[in-house]
Amino acid sequence: MPSREESAVTNLRQAIRDANGDFVAELTERGVGGYFVLFRKGQVVHRESQIDAFVLEDGPATDAIRNLVDKVKAVFGERR
């Protein structure tokens, strides 16, 4: 059985694929205040921090993770 952190990474990658995102989650770390994720699209980097654990650990089909991916897509100038 995968750890919570492994599930979070897998769920995030799947949510990005499902949304046809043209970026990657380069680094995902769990800390006291929630998850920290470093997203990359080419040479552009975007950081999201203090993401509640349930957002990433509960699965790629949740509204919360879709909203996060949509937010990052907007940062990178991608359409929703």
Residues 6 or more apart whose CB falls under 8 angstroms from that of 66 comprise 15, 19
Residue range(s) defining the domain that contains residue 56: 4-75
Phi, psi of 74 (to 5 degrees): -65, -40
pLDDT of residue 80: 63
Q: Is residue 80 part of a domain?
A: no
In the prediction, which pLDDT does 53 show?
Answer: 93
Q: Tell me whether residue 22 is in a domain.
A: yes
Number of independent structural domains in the chain = 1
Q: Which residue pairs, CB below 8 angstroms and at least 24 apart, start in 48-55?
A: 48/72, 53/4, 53/8
Q: What does the pLDDT read at residue 55?
A: 94
- What pTM was estimated for this model as a whole? 0.92
Regions of the chain with pLDDT less than 70: 80
Confidence (pLDDT) at 22: 96
Amino acid 2: pLDDT:
83
